[in-house]
Structures are given as C-alpha cells and as structure tokens.
Amino acid sequence: MSQIYKREMVFIVTGVVALVMMLDYFFGKNIPGISGAGNISSTLQTWALIIQLMAIGLGAINLIQVHYRQISRKTNMAVYSAWFMGFFALLLLLGFYKLATGVELYPYTWIFKNVYVSLGTTLYAITGFYIFSAAYRAFRARNIDAAILLIGGIFVLLANAPIGEVIWGGFPLIGNWFNNVGQVPGMRTFTVVGALGLLAFGFRALIGKERGFYSEVQ
Amino acid sequence: MGVWIILDTKFVALLLLIAAFALFYGYMTLAKGGMKIKARAFPAVAAISEAIGRAAEMGKPVYYSTGMGQGTLNNQLNGPQTLAGISILGYTTRLCAKSGVKITYFTPIADSLPLVEETMRTSYMAEGKPEEFNPAVAINFQNEQSPFLTASLGWIQREKPAASILLGGFYYESVVLGEAGNTIGAMQIGGTANTHQLPFLVATCDYTLIMEELYAASAEISGNPDVLGSLRGEDILKFFVLILLGLGFILALVNNNSLISLLKV
C-alpha cells in the first residue's frame, strides 16, 4: 500500500511541477501568481535547490556509511577509508569553525588549494593519455569506414599541429573543412534526434509511463 | 484570450509541443488498443544480459555509472540522461540479483542517490533477494568529478569487473572510464546524449546507445506496447522535422528567412 501511495505521489508531484514550469515558460507574467519573485514558479525552483542541498547531506551520510563499513570489516581498503574519515572530520571541524567565527583558518584553504585542486588538475591532465590510446583504437583501419575515419583524423590532426602547415599548406584548409563543415550535418542530426528522444522520454515521465526510475520493476 | 497568450515564437513552440505530445499519446493509445509496434532491438540492450552472464561465469562484479551529468539532476540537458541511466540500472540490477553478480554504482550526483537506492532495492526485492541489497553498492562523490573518477579508476583496477556499463550524461570521464575498462578487458556498454562525448564512448565501448537510443532503451526494456507506441510517435515526428528541414533549405535558397524567424525561440 505504501509503495502504491509513494508511486502515485511521485506522479502527482512530477505532473504538477512540470505543468507549473511549462506555464511559467510559455505564458510568463501573463498568468498572475505563476512567475516572478516569490511566486509559485520561483518558489518551486527554490525548493528544488533546497532538496538538492539536502541530498548533499544525505550523500555525506552515504560516504560515512560506506567507509565505516570498510573499516569495521577490516577489508584491504580499510586504511584508505580511515584516511578519508580523518580528512572528512578535519575539514568538517574547520568548516564549522568558519561558520561559527567567520574566520577561514589557513589549513582549510591550504588543503583545498594544495591538495584537492592539484590532484584534480593532475587527473584532468592524465585524460590526454587516455584520449591518445582511445584514438589509437578508433583509428585502426580495419575496414573501409575506419580507413575513411583515419584519413579524416589525420587531416584534422595535422590542421591543429603546427607541423601540418609546414609539411603542406593544404592540411589546415582540409582539416578545418572537416571541423567546420564536414562533421556539422552529422552532429546536428544527432542533436535533433536527441532532442526528439528527450521529448518522448519527458512525455512518458510526465504521464507516469517511464517507470524505471520510479522504483518500479521493468 | 489574446491578452494572456504571448503571440510570439514561444506560442509556435507551444503549439508544436502540444502537437508532439498529442502524437505520442495517440500512438500510445493505438498501441494499447492492439496496434502492432515493431521496435528495432538495440544490440546494446541485448548485450547487457550477455555482460551479466559473462560476469556470472567469471565470478566478477559489474561497474555501473551514469556519469557526471553536471553534478545534479536539476539540469535540463543531463538530468534526463541520468534518469534514463537509472531506469536501465534497475533492469541491470535485477539481472545481477538473478545471477548472483555483484553490481556497484558510482555517481557524483548526490541528489540521484535516493532514487538509485530505491531502484536497486526494488530490483533485489523483485528477485526475492531483498537481504542481498547493500546500500553501500551505490557510492556517491558529492558533485565532484575528480574524486568520482579517481575512486572509479581505483575500483576498476582492484576489482577488475567483467563488465562496465556507462549510461548517462558523461563529460571527460567517458574516455577515462572507457579506457580503464578496456585496459582490464571488461565488456563495455556505453551511451550518452552528450554529442561531445559520443565519439569517446563509440571508440572505447563494445556497444553504444547513441543519443535518443539512451532514452528509448528503457521503453524497449519495459516491453509495454503503449510505451513502445511513443517510439512510433517519435519516428513520425522525425519525418515532420525532415520536411521542415527540407522546407527551410529551399526557403533559404531564395533568401526567405520566415521559417527560421517563426521557429526561433
């Protein structure tokens, strides 16, 4: 019974919110009480933001549960989980201190700038190597399609690499043509069919027919 | 009436939206009434059960992610993709529960976590194994891309999953996760509606759901004729868009921009 109640509630809330947002978008200020500061549309958007922030709190609890389990079961990951818990507690305390006093302590900024940002940037830079190995796989000329892709790829590569223009002046012209003209129709087709798929998906979700994420078994 | 209806291009967009919804609804009703809808089977969807079977034979887990998706469900481009990914996660989890395969879901989208937990719990319950569901199989990384990616890479290297399923709104993590899966020889199924990441998933995955296929996959999985009817409506809409494109092309040749002005929002 509670499952049915929960499902119906999701449908009703989704439907009402979607209707309000559509009315706001299409009719704007012409319907009193729909849009503008303090009206129903902006209130719903504020609620969405609050729910989103609450979910971050929920996410923190999930992280603690996951890592506590690793530590209590003494798995081979327990040492990393303990490391995580230590840093989590430290940053939480520093954050609360900032909230209470308005003073941002040096370790708080230092950890963010020198640990978090550095590691994030390093990881992003590593992507270059992954793209290289993925490109190697994609550009193997196993059939005629892959061979055409390889030829196109070589032109685009040499158009972007300074040495391409030194070898032959035509590389930037042809490479840029692939970039600016050749690939555009294909990508736009993807965008159009993607939008149509989204429209159908949205409609199914709106009328409660798209049930996979409503915790219903498919 | 004319007072509160904005007589601009938004009104045209509204009319088109209503027409599209009417088309979807019409075909869904016809399909429910017995109209035969032949839906093309997606190889990527069929490959999910193959991947789970492989994982069961090898005794290895399955990695599942819906990608970064701008770190929130509250995003018009990526939110629906994440939801589509969660829909397919329900089906995948059910297959895993049936075969006794462990599945771990990684996400940086904290607000998707309650949906994911419920979806996975329901799938285990449907297979009569609610006790096997462990909330720790859904791991979130608080809207942060790098920690999500680092943890995923570490997990993939340690656990060596037999299959890696990447369905949702992906950003640069698509190529990293795809290549990490390739390195350990995992069977990979990918899908996104983000055009900028599509080439990476095509290059790294064994099967790919391209653009609208990601949204249509859950309709195919459900097998409901009325849900499949919406796909027929979508196909009809594609023909309409093709006609509009052709018309716009001809009008542009004679320097007439009236259609562009009418449809511009």
What is the SS3 assignment for A98-111? HHHHCCCCHHHHHH
Q: What confidence score (pLDDT) does residue A218 get? A: 57
Residue B177 identity: L
Which residue on chain A is closest to B95 by alpha carbon? Answer: A218
Contact state of B237 with A216 under an 8 Å Cβ cutoff: no
In degrees rounded to 5, what are phi and psi of residue B189?
-125, 125
Q: What is the least distance, in Å, from the CA of B176 to any CA of chain A?
A: 6
Q: What are the pLDDT tens digits along chain B (265 aa)?
A: 444 455 567 788 888 889 999 999 999 999 888 888 777 788 999 999 999 999 999 999 999 999 888 777 777 888 889 988 998 999 999 999 999 999 999 988 888 888 888 888 889 998 888 888 877 676 766 667 888 888 888 889 989 999 999 999 998 888 889 999 999 999 999 999 998 888 889 888 999 999 889 988 888 887 777 788 888 888 899 999 899 889 988 998 998 888 888 877 6
What is the SS3 assignment for B183-203? HCCCEEEEEECCCCCHHHHHH
Q: How far is CA B24 from CA A30, A141, A143, A209, in A?
A: 29, 42, 39, 12
Are B221 and B243 in contact by the 8 Å Cβ rule? The answer is no
* A10, burial (CB in 10 Å: exposed 0-12, middle 13-18, buried 19+): middle
Short-list B173, B181, B179, CA closest to B155: B181
Which residue on chain B is closest to A76 by alpha carbon? Answer: B158
Short-list B82, B115, B114, B117, CA closest to B103: B117
Residue B90 identity: G
CA distance A200 to A210: 10
CA distance A131 to B225: 41
A87's tokens:
């840093």
Least confident of A115-124, A196-205, B33-42: B33-42
Please determine, for residue A194, whether its predicted confidence score (pLDDT) is greater than 60.
Answer: yes
Between A62 and B56, the higher pLDDT residue = B56
* A120, burial (CB in 10 Å: exposed 0-12, middle 13-18, buried 19+): middle
Residue B1 identity: M
Beta-bridged to residue B104, according to DSSP, are: B63
Q: Does B20 touch chain A (CB under 8 A)?
A: yes
Q: From start to end of chain B, where are the E strands?
A: 62-65, 103-107, 138-140, 163-167, 187-192, 207-210
> Residues 6 or more apart from A154 whose CB is under 8 A from it?
none
Q: Does B195 touch chain A (CB under 8 A)?
A: yes
Prediction pTM value: 0.85
Overall residue count recorded for chain A in this entry: 218
A81's tokens:
């989980």
Are B86 and B115 in contact by the 8 Å Cβ rule? The answer is yes
**Average pLDDT of the residues in A51-76:** 84
CA distance B13 to B16: 5
> Residues 6 or more apart from A131 whose CB is under 8 A from it?
B175, B200
- In a mutational test of the A interface, the residue from B212, B213, B224, B236 whose CB has the highest number of chain A CBs within 10 Å is B212
Q: Given the structure tokens 């023909």, which residue do they identify?
A: B239
* B226, burial (CB in 10 Å: exposed 0-12, middle 13-18, buried 19+): buried
Which among A26, A63, A190 is the nearest to B195, CB-wise? Answer: A190
Overall residue count recorded for chain B in this entry: 265
Contact state of A138 with B221 under an 8 Å Cβ cutoff: no
Annotated domain spans of chain B: 2-32+226-263, 43-222
Short-list B103, B217, B89, B99, CA closest to B162: B103
Which among A55, A127, A203 is the nearest to B172, CB-wise? Answer: A127
Give the model's confidence band at A6: pLDDT under 50 very low, under 70 low, under 90 confident, else very high. low
User: Mapping DSSP to helix (H, G, I), strand (E, B) and coil, where does residue B192 land?
Assistant: strand
CA distance A152 to A175: 7
Q: What is the least distance, in Å, from the CA of B57 to any CA of chain A?
A: 24
Reported as a single tens digit per residue, the pLDDT across A92-115 is: 898 889 888 888 888 888 888 888
A96's tokens:
């609360």
CA distance B155 to B164: 11
Q: What confidence score (pLDDT) does residue B1 get? A: 44
Are B177 and B65 in contact by the 8 Å Cβ rule? The answer is yes
Q: Which helix (H) or strand (E) holds B134?
A: none
A160's tokens:
């972007």
Least confident of A16-20, A164-168, A182-186, B36-40: B36-40
Are B42 and B53 in contact by the 8 Å Cβ rule? The answer is no
Q: What confidence score (pLDDT) does residue B2 get? A: 45
B67's tokens:
């990608």
Please determine, for residue A215, whether its predicted confidence score (pLDDT) is greater than 60.
Answer: no
β-pairing, B207-210 vs B62-65, is unpaired
Please determine, for residue A53, whether its predicted confidence score (pLDDT) is greater than 60.
Answer: yes
B231's tokens:
């796909």
User: Mapping DSSP to helix (H, G, I), strand (E, B) and coil, where does residue B62 land?
Assistant: strand
Contact state of B113 with A62 under an 8 Å Cβ cutoff: yes
Classified by CATH at the fold level, domain B43-222 comes out as Rossmann fold (3.40.50)
Are B180 and A134 in contact by the 8 Å Cβ rule? The answer is no
- In a mutational test of the A interface, the residue from B7, B11, B87, B122 whose CB has the highest number of chain A CBs within 10 Å is B87
